[in-house]
Copies of this chain bind each other. A is one copy, B any other.
Amino acid sequence: MSTDDGSPAGEGGAPRLGRRPSTTQAELSHVALTLFAERGFDDTTVDDIAAAAGIGRRTFFRYFASKNDLPWGDFDAQLDRMRAYLDSLPDDLPLMDAVCASVIEFNRIPPEEVPWHRQRMRLLLGVPALLAHSTLRFQAWRDVVAEYAARRLGVPADSLEPQALAWTMLGIALAAYEQWLVHEDADLTELLESALRMLGERFAS
């Protein structure tokens, strides 16, 4: 995914060589999300999406490796943002504080994008096929957390402690998301904070 498919039609700098891409991931994603909202995920075929976007079915699969990837946009860019945030934190900040802060920061969303993001997440966590596929994305997210924790702890990234920490953080975040989707008026940041706080209290026993 990410932007290595050479598609950012328009600016970028490179004077373009060869035929220009006829669309973008973002546009395809948008078209698809609209269709999903109308007919539902399962009742929307890739042909429908390609037709609605005015491209061939074969071309669709050059922009997205699978139908399941549509709601994700370019997650890799988000991961880079998270990595950068973690690296910007001072090393004397306790590990748990750093990780908790980054989870909160990663999931901070501008108010105007809340409805949009809500729809995306409702899809991702509500449609079984998408929830299953999401696991693979979450794995990449966990790796970011685990690598940071491993560096701070001075242990390999694939050892128990960073991995367990990363899994835990993912779990907490998803539990908060589920609440957020159910309660229309809830604030995601607050939910994340209380989930994290709860974890600390519960384990203090």
Which residues of A are interface residues toward B (Cβ below 8 A)?
94-97, 128, 131-136, 139, 158-161, 163-168, 170-172, 174-176, 178-179, 182, 191, 194-195, 198-200, 202-205
Contacts and interface: CB of A to CB of B under 8 A. Distances in A.
B198 A203 contact: no
A160 B159 CA distance: 29
Contact of A160 (B134, B164, B179): B179
Contact of A168 (B134, B171, B204): B171
Contacts of A176: 160, 164
Given A167-B171, A170-B171, A204-B204, 4 more contacts: A135-B135, A158-B178, A158-B182, A160-B175
Contacts of A205: 94-97
Given A171-B170, A204-B203, A128 B132 contact: no
Nearest to A200: B203
Nearest to A172: B164
Contacts of A159: 179
